[in-house]
Amino acid sequence: MSDLMKAVRERRSIRKFKSDAVPKELIDKIIEAGVFAASGRGKQAPIVIAVTNKAFRDKISDENRKIGGWDEGFDPFYGAPVILVVAAPVEIPTAVYDGSLTLGNMMLEAHDLGLGTCWIHRAREEFENGFGAEILKKAGISGDYIGVGHLALGYIDGEDPAVIPRRERRIFYID
């Protein structure tokens, strides 16, 4: 099995992270995998904002928690010390597809580097309710963006989850 296929098969969503910081060179490698994703018309439109500042990471978590309707104290990022926010300019028709592929690439690279990830949703709502503007401002970016998703990133606390067998009857051929 190729290394790539091994990562594709064995990557799982992680929902318990250690608080240990992730070295910047690893974060950079993961983001590099993201920005190398294919994109509609080759526009390379998605952006990735790496949030490691604890206070701001907690602020995003709290906003996400409120949108999700969870009680105070719940962390939808499961303790991950890094949040990678993926967004794309609103005028890009393939914004969500491009951003999703960016997230997928980053999940695989993180897994290959021995780190855990979980796609955390509700980025669209964050960007629609104005909170996204705060994230953009903090990163020094201006413009109108669609929030595509976040990646909770960090070292796995516990065992690697097992591979889940795939459902049947999802593949069809027309010969």
Candidate segments 9-17, 28-36, 45-53, 166-174, binder of ligand FMN by CB under 6 A:
9-17
Task: State in angstroms the smallest separation of the CB of 143 from ligand FMN.
Answer: 23
Q: Taking the complex as a whole, how short is the minimal distance between the CB of residue 43 and ligand FMN, in angstroms?
A: 21
Q: Cβ 109 to ligand FMN, closest distance in Å?
A: 15
Calpha distance 97→33 (Å, rounded): 16
Q: Is 124 in the site for ligand FMN (CB under 6 A)?
A: no
C-beta of 13 vs 53, nearer to ligand FMN: 13
97 contacts ligand FMN (rule: CB under 6 A): no
Rounded Cα–Cα distance for residues 4 and 59 (Å): 35
119 with 77: CB under 8 angstroms? no
What does the alpha-carbon distance between residue 71 and residue 6 come to, in Å, rounded to a whole number?
38
Q: How far is CA 26 from the centre of its chain?
A: 15
Q: Tell me if residue 72 falls in helix, strand or coil.
A: coil
Residue window 11-40: x/- pattern of binding to ligand FMN, with contact defined by CB under 6 A: -xx-x-------------------------
